[in-house]
Chain A
Amino acid sequence: MRKNKSADRLSLPVMILLFVLPLLAVFVSLFFGRYHVSLQEVFLSFVRPQSVPLASRVAVLQLRLPRAVAAAFAGASLAVSGAAFQSVFRNPLVNSGILGVSNGAGFGACVAIIFFGGGVFTYFFSFVFAVAAVLLSYFAGRISRVTTSITMVLGGTIVGAFFNALVSIMKYVADPYSQLPSITFWFMGSFASVGYTHLYALIPMGFGMILVFLSRWKLNVLSMGEKEAASLGVDVRKAQILIIGGATLCTAAAVCISGTIGWVGLVIPHIGRMIAGNSNQKLIPVSISLGAGFMVVMDLLSRTLTGSEIPIGILCALIGTPFFVYLLKKSKGGFRL
């Protein structure tokens, strides 16, 4: 037992690695893309931008950099909120969309595309409706005052189904030549249109991640059940609001810039569990780092694998699921490598 004294916290080299991984992924992704930019030009666009041809400079600084940063934040957000929800709802099968975030955001995007012509409105409406969906789920879950964590999941499922129906109505009335394709593409997820103006979404994502990160010890205790957490000295209602609020800010902001990207919020926390164990003390930072790194790499692949872009939502599911099965097999279903 003595020699494992540090086992409950991450060691320094691991922490450095976790910090460096997403930065490295962002850095690497600057060098790749359909428009060829030489190694030298990438470096120079940071140091002496005037000496680099405009097209290269724009590709690196205006397109690839903000896109990679947004992908990193979105990946981290989805992963961390998935991990947080799994503990709050005491269910390892839960993902970041459990409280209807994606469905709400999807409906918001539809409203924006059909009534306001998309654009900036898409981000605004999807964010607002994502948050609204969670609030509805939360209050639906509070109708019954016992075992709120179960009824909240039920509330999320109901609210998700409701917004799904609204999305279907929207698709039904949408113009099949212009609006319907936009809606369909939104649901596949993409960072293709992300520029610096979209980086406002990093504020709620960062804020939400900080809330969850600071509450990571409470997540362990909450996952023991509400009554037990209370007897251990947690103000359960307050902690739930902080954590669900933080996780919601994360996912809503992530989904509103990228569209729905499934799987990340389920797979990354589980990979984190296999690497770092189940204590959220370690799982939360590991999820942030892995989620960020994973999403940047996926985004890089989505824009370089083929001549035209593959929507990242498709790619995440295509690559994420077999990888997950492989890890399950390797850990013999025990969620531990």
Chain B
Amino acid sequence: MILNIENLCFSYGKAPVLDSLSLSADKGEIICLLGPNGSGKTTLLDCVQGFHRSFTGSIKVCGRDVLSLSRPDLARLVSYVPQFHTPAFPYTVREVVLMGRTARSGIFGAPDREDYEICDSSIARAGIEEFAQRPYTELSGGERKLVLLARAIAQEAPLIVLDEPTSSLDFKNELMFLEMLIAFVRNEGISVLMATHALQHPLYFESDGIKTKAVMLCKGKPALTGTPGELITPKTLLEVYGVHAAVRKIETDGGKTIKSVAVFGSGSQQGESL
């Protein structure tokens, strides 16, 4: 088991955010954290990465308690793809990816030959060789996300944490990013913990044959966990988000079947039916 969270409780002051949450991820499994704004998705990611340290319960990555690990040790187990990102200096893409190797060098360390090799291999596997020498700040949002994914891959951690990775991407870039993520999960057995607002993501992963778990966080109520197909239903969406929605199977031109969600009314409106 890569990630194991047991009875996690966390509160900001007196306001509880996470209430006895238990969750686990196997090798090669994707966990999608869903839930409305303010339901604690980012808080949970911060707990897993040891940024919030005052929680009760336990979070273990590869059997090791995150609170007992030093920063470099934790970074060898958990890598992170941030949501927003504007570096102060125009580093080249390769320099950014190389930062994924930081945890492998000591306090005065710098990347060595092996680190450069792993960096270049991650760049190749993420398919971003053509802009490896360009300044990161000149790239489009979609390209940047691929660079950050390559950096997380270079970190060689068994668990990648992503915070709404596709929130600023257009359809095509979003799909490209998800495909790349799926490829790393499938080919390299990486586990993923990602917060997302797109209900489509877990359904997409599931239909692609990846072991996927959806976790629906909901303020003040226990979290709901299940496979995306079980969890993402009009009933839970009404309960958690307060919206009326339809979930349908859609057959693509390629003969694949994907579930799709359409949201059509807020819960305060009465009387509509499916």
Q: A residues touching B (Cβ–Cβ < 8 Å)?
A: 1, 4-5, 7-8, 86-87, 90-92, 214-218, 220-221, 223-224, 227-236, 238-239, 242, 273, 277-279, 281, 334-336
Which secondary structure dominates chain A's binding surface?
A: helix
Q: Which 8 A-B pairs have the closest CB atoms?
A: A233-B103, A233-B75, A231-B80, A214-B108, A217-B110, A90-B88, A278-B89, A233-B72
Contact of B87 among A223, A227, A273, A336 (CB under 8 A): A223
**Structural contact, A227 and B51, CB atoms closer than 8 A:** yes
Which of the segments B2-10, B94-102, B174-182, B223-231 contacts the partner chain?
Answer: B94-102
**Structural contact, A235 and B91, CB atoms closer than 8 A:** no
Residues in A neighbouring B94, C-beta threshold 8 A: 1, 7-8
Which residue among A216, A230, A336 has the maximum number of chain B CB atoms within 10 Å of its CB? A230
**Structural contact, B99 and A221, CB atoms closer than 8 A:** yes
Residues in A neighbouring B90, C-beta threshold 8 A: 278, 334-336
For B51, the closest partner residue in chain A by CB is: A227
**Structural contact, B102 and A1, CB atoms closer than 8 A:** no
Q: Does B26 contact A (CB under 8 A)?
A: no
Contact of A232 among B91, B92, B107, B155 (CB under 8 A): B155
Q: B residues touching A (Cβ–Cβ < 8 Å)?
A: 49, 51, 70-72, 74-76, 78-80, 82, 85, 87-92, 94-95, 98-100, 102-105, 107-111, 116, 120, 123, 129, 132-133, 155, 161
Number of A-B contacts (CB under 8 A): 102
**Structural contact, A220 and B132, CB atoms closer than 8 A:** no
Which residue among B75, B123, B155, B161 has the maximum number of chain A CB atoms within 10 Å of its CB? B75
Given contacts A220-B91, A223-B88, contact A232 B100 (CB under 8 A): yes
Please measure, in the bound complex, the distance between the C-alpha atom of A227 and the C-alpha atom of B161, giving whole angstroms: 13
Contact of A279 among B91, B102, B108 (CB under 8 A): B91
**Structural contact, B102 and A277, CB atoms closer than 8 A:** no
For B87, the closest partner residue in chain A by CB is: A224
> What are 21 A-B pairs with beta-carbon distances under 8 A?
A1-B94, A1-B132, A4-B133, A7-B94, A8-B116, A90-B87, A217-B102, A217-B109, A220-B91, A221-B102, A227-B51, A228-B80, A228-B82, A230-B75, A231-B75, A232-B102, A232-B103, A233-B102, A233-B104, A242-B107, A277-B92
For A227, the closest partner residue in chain B by CB is: B51
**Structural contact, A231 and B120, CB atoms closer than 8 A:** no
**Structural contact, B71 and A234, CB atoms closer than 8 A:** yes
Please measure, in the bound complex, the distance between the C-alpha atom of A92 and the C-alpha atom of B129, giving whole angstroms: 28
Known: A7-B133, A232-B103. 6 other contacts (CB 8 A): A1-B94, A5-B116, A87-B89, A224-B87, A232-B75, A239-B107
